[in-house]
Chain A
Amino acid sequence: MLLLVAWRNLRRNSRRTIIVLVSIVVGVVSLLLYDSISYGMIRQMLDNSVGASIGHIQIHGKGYNDNRVIQTSIPDRGRAENAVRGMRGVKAWSSRVPSFGLLSSAQGSSGGVIVGVDAHSESRVSSIASTIVKGRYLEGEGREVVIGRALAGKLHVDVGDKVVGMASTRGGEVGSELFRVVGLFETVSADFDKTHMFVPMSSAQEMLDMGGDIIEIAIVLEQPEQAERIAADLRAQLGPDYEVLTYRELVPLLVAQLEMYDQMLVVIYVIIGLAMIFGIINTMLMSVFERVQEFGVLMAIGMRNAKVFSMVMIEALCLAMIGTVVGVLAGVALTLLLREVGIDLSVFAEGLRSFGAGAVITPELRFNGILAAVVTIPLTTLLGALYPAWKATRLQPVAAIRHV
């Protein structure tokens, strides 16, 4: 019956109830949108990073990640490639010869990573082939190079122009090679575009005096969450002379950011909760003060303080439940809609690219985000109702009945 009284009391002043409900709904929708957009952005940064060139797992020679020199090549290319080829859950893989060097044109030069790749297998691992904005992707074994559009601008070159790549050879000499620019790519990361250039594997091996050796195998998995298991299997197969790292170890900052995300979200929840709680206190207090005489009568006929307290809290709980359900439905619908169309932030494209995020953000709905809103908002509403409910119990029946 207390629930019935609470429910009818909410309908009694429908305008006030609607105002409180709107504030709860806005709070829930804001939380869900903030969560899905922020998480989607960080996820996108990670996916871009993994998709651009890193892959889910990389294999190197022992010690390569501590000192990235071409002398630390993969000890036995055939063995490593066979291990990857036979591994279940591997979607695609690409052998590479990355080296740090200098790319020069007649008008300028720039340092960066010259990556020797097999054009076909690389196109299945990295997003370079799909992000060509001018010219074409690598085709074969000729002396061709695809570079980032940003790097092309820096070197003042375009498709068809010649550039010279220079890097230290395995023997410590300076190796150089003349390449013709066949394509320009533009990924979502401005930094990547300024520093990476892709050439055919044979050209890189020749320039670096590597013979048939490779330095890296990048692997893309069918299910990224299997990365730890598959990496462990590869480690077991290849032994201690190989270094097998997952993307979690290769981009630890982004992974940490993703993992820290739930903790960062708590701060946002506290801020939104604080903004809401004062509105709830104010509204519930008004609701109590409007019914002082009624509470006085209820107390006079024998209603205990605990029941009076419960009555106010049940009203707040009703508000919280309705507001949260409507808010979650609206928030999920809005997030799904935005996920479908994407949030176009082209005006901030440059800034977003410098963080490795695209100009179109795709919100990502998370169960944790919904759960947090479903727990936080009703809890905040109930916290906000505590003081008004306590005030109701402090009323003295005699004075309250006379209250006008």
Chain B
Amino acid sequence: MEVIRLQHVEKIYADNGVPVTALRDVSLSIAQGEFVVIAGPSGSGKTTLLNIMGALDKPTSGQVLLENEDVSTLTSAQVAAFRLEKLGFVFQAYNLIPVLTAMENVEFSMMLLGMDKATRRARALEVMRELGIEELAYKRPNEMSGGQQQRVAVARAIVNKPSIVLADEPTANLDTHTGAQLLDIMENMNRVHNLTFIFSSHDPQVIDRARRLILLRDGSVEKDVSGTA
């Protein structure tokens, strides 16, 4: 089942009034359960492409269909609701809410969905247990290591059972061993729950695990190879 379809997507930024093309005529399709890595040198458009796939940014032209829904036709509230229900995000800098504990961070997006506290807590604990981080439940981000924070961020991303998880350079701030552990978890989630993972990264260990590699250069898809891992 197709979860993402991009057709002739172009993104042009205005940099001090000068137009800069970040993406040129990108067309691709991603199916449910894929483990995709978008790679390429700095400035190739990886993050821009990921942001467009995550409905965080709009293309200048072209069409973006997420689960067959044209996101350009949705209102900002509908887009927010779509992101909440269908997408999960993992950021390079973890970006947990510093005033909340790990458990509360995981619960937060369920709260936005309007779930009651007991259900939220049970579901958060279930996911944290699956990721092996239940002992971190009552710790605040500043009491956790980078790797622990990123695992909590993964728990937050998957707790609402999204169909797609978008991870922007998730291992960039982690050492190799911790990065590998995180990728193990994500691979496991992909296998067990058939979750679609899309990474933007230039970390070789991430690229090595890709089952599909989309290589960008100067905003265009240079290579789109499946079965690489």
Contact = CB atoms under 8 A, between A and B. Distances in A.
Nearest to B99: A8
Interface residues of A, number: 24
B112 interface: yes
A260 interface: no
B104 A304 contact: no
Interface stretch (A205-213, A226-234, A237-245, A295-303): A295-303
A304 B77 contact: yes
B99 A300 contact: no
A1 B111 contact: yes
B57 to A, nearest CB: 5
Nearest to B94: A297
A391 interface: no
B84 A301 contact: yes
B83 A293 contact: no
Contacts of B104: 1, 4
Contact of A303 (B80, B82, B99): B80
A302 B111 contact: no
A382 B100 CA distance: 24
Contact of A301 (B93, B98, B99, B156): B156
Interface in A282-317: 293-294, 297-307
A5 B100 contact: yes
A294 B76 contact: no
Nearest to A306: B77
B107 A1 contact: yes
Contacts of A5: 97, 99-100
A398 B156 CA distance: 19
A123 interface: no
B107 A302 contact: no
Interface in A1-18: 1-2, 4-5, 8-9, 11-12
B95 A305 contact: no
A294 B97 contact: yes
A339 B84 CA distance: 58
A401 interface: yes
A363 interface: no
A360 B97 CA distance: 56
Interface residues of B, number: 30
A397 interface: yes
Per DSSP, chain B at the interface is helix
B200 interface: no
Interface in B57-106: 57, 76-77, 80-85, 87-89, 91, 93, 95, 97-100, 104
B51 interface: yes
Given A1-B108, A301-B156, A302-B109, A12 B98 contact: yes
Contacts of B76: 305
Contacts of A298: 97, 108
Contacts of B111: 1-2
Given A1-B111, A401-B95, A302 B83 contact: yes
B95 A303 contact: no
Among B80, B81, B89, B107, residue most surrounded by chain A Cβ atoms (within 10 Å): B80
A208 to B, nearest CB: 84
B56 A300 contact: yes
A302 B95 contact: no
A264 to B, nearest CB: 44
A383 to B, nearest CB: 25
Contacts of A2: 111
Interface centre among B56, B57, B87, B156 (most CB of A within 10 A): B56
A297 B51 contact: no
Nearest to B92: A401
A401 B91 contact: yes
Contacts of B85: 302
Contacts of B157: 301
A301 B81 CA distance: 9
Given A4-B104, A8-B99, A305-B77, A297 B84 contact: no
B224 to A, nearest CB: 24
Contacts of A294: 95, 97-98
Contacts of B99: 5, 8-9, 11-12
Given A1-B104, A5-B100, A302 B81 contact: yes
B147 interface: no
B112 A303 contact: yes
A301 B83 contact: yes
B83 to A, nearest CB: 4
Nearest to A303: B112
Interface in B84-141: 84-85, 87-89, 91, 93, 95, 97-100, 104, 107-109, 111-112
B97 A300 contact: no
B54 A302 contact: no
B112 A307 contact: yes
A349 to B, nearest CB: 56
A217 B82 CA distance: 83
B103 to A, nearest CB: 11
A226 B97 CA distance: 62
Interface of B: 51, 54, 56-57, 76-77, 80-85, 87-89, 91, 93, 95, 97-100, 104, 107-109, 111-112, 156-157
Q: Which 4 A-B pairs have the closest CB atoms?
A: A302-B84, A8-B99, A297-B95, A302-B83
